[in-house]
Every structure is written in structure tokens, then in C-alpha cells.
Amino acid sequence: MIDFEFGFNKFNLEQIRTIQDNLRRNKKQYDEDRLREWRERKLMNDEDVRLKNLYLEEQSRREQERMEEEARELREKEIDEQWRKHLLDSEIEKQQLIQQLEEAAKMRAEKGKKKGKKGMGGKKK
């Protein structure tokens, strides 16, 4: 550092004033540079925060879409299962109806045979 006591250095008054002016100018420039750097860091930090929020929102949106897709697929599976069950139940009902109709037809055929025998073997004269 420079000693600005007039008696301890070999600078004349004009040189000391020039040095002081240069020191003030340098200090001012230094302060401006630090302020500019601080503002730049602050802007970068704000940008980082905004980007993190944007990424978080995007990730949340993707997660929400994934969950909705899973729910849709689950509903489709449930509907498919209900449809298969309905088809199976319909097939069972159809088979039961066919069986009932066949049994009814057999019973009618047997009744018809019994009536036919009685009717043919009726009274003799």
C-alpha cells in the first residue's frame, strides 16, 4: 500500500491527488462490478428457481397424465371383465334355456306317447 503522508514519500501533491482520484475511480469501478455480479447472480438464481418450478410442474403434469392413463386402463380392464362375465352369464343362461326346452320337449314327447297308447288300445267291442 502507498503511504500518503507527505513527509514519508517522494510523491508531490499533484501525484498524490492523481493517485487518490485513481483509487476512488478504481473503488467505484470495483463496487459497480460487484453490484453487477451480485445482480447477475440474483438473476441466475431467480432463473434457476423458475426452471426448477417449471420442471416440477412438468413432472407433476406427466405424473398426473400417467396416473390418469393407469386409471383409464384399469376402467377398461374392469369393463372388459364385466363384458366377459356378461357373455359367460348369457351363455350359461342360453345353455340352461336350451336344456329346459329339451327337457320340456322330452316330457311332451313322453306324454304324447302315453296318450297315444291309451287312445289306441281303447274300448273293444
Position 55 scores a pLDDT of 96
Q: What is the DSSP letter of 7?
A: T
- Provide Rg for the chain, Cα atoms: 52
What is the C-alpha to C-alpha distance for residues 16 and 4, in angstroms, rounded to an integer?
7
C-alpha cell at 106: 322330452
Tell me: pLDDT of 115 over 90: no
Mean pLDDT of the chain: 88
pLDDT tens per residue across span 45-99: 999 999 999 999 999 999 999 999 999 999 999 999 999 999 999 999 999 999 9
**Could you give the CA distance from residue 121 to residue 113 in angstroms, rounded to a whole number?**
12
Cα–Cα dist 105/115, whole Å: 15
What is this structure's pTM?
0.47
